Amino acid sequence: MQFTLVVYGAPHGSQGAATALRFARAVLTSGHGIYRVFFYADGIHNGSALTAPPQDEQDLLGQWQDLQQQHQLDLTVCIAAAQRRGVLSESEASRLEKPAANLAEGFELAGLGQLAEAAALSDRIVTFGG
């Protein structure tokens, strides 16, 4: 079965992102696939390279990046939501004449068309956070 996950929860503002990560691991361990993980609304903060949790807390960014590398996951951040919240790729920072970029490695910016595509090509869409 092919899944698409939509993450609305910020990495440390709700349990949505951590639950999505655990669900993704369970899906992959069970032999199913993940077509795309789409980060939307405050969930885009999961893709910020500037996240620096204390040592006694989970490093969700690092865990998403590890999972992405292990399974070649498509970690997609909504470009409109990201721009509103200050998460920019190198090309977007340059285009918008901003002094720096902070989209983490392994994540990419994309539009809602990629979410629609994922919906069409997946058996299930599961959302996390709200």
Q: Total structural domains in the chain?
A: 1
Which amino acids are annotated catalytic?
78
Burial (CB count <10 Å: 0-12, 13-18, 19+), residue 121: exposed
64-94 confidence digits (pLDDT tens): 999 999 999 999 999 999 999 999 999 999 9
**pLDDT the model gives residue 130:** 73
Euclidean distance between the first and the last CA atom of the chain, given in angstroms as a whole number: 25
Task: Check residues 60 and 13 and name the one with the higher pLDDT.
Answer: 60
Which CATH number does the domain housing residue 88 bear? 3.40.1260.10
Whether residue 107 is predicted with pLDDT greater than 80 in this model: the reply is yes
pTM of this structure: 0.95
DSSP string, 29-71: HTT-EEEEEEE-GGGGGGGBTT----TTS--HHHHHHHHHHHH
pLDDT band at 13 (very low <50, low <70, confident <90, very high): confident
- Structural domain for 123, as ranges: 2-128
Bridge-partner residues for 107, per DSSP? 75
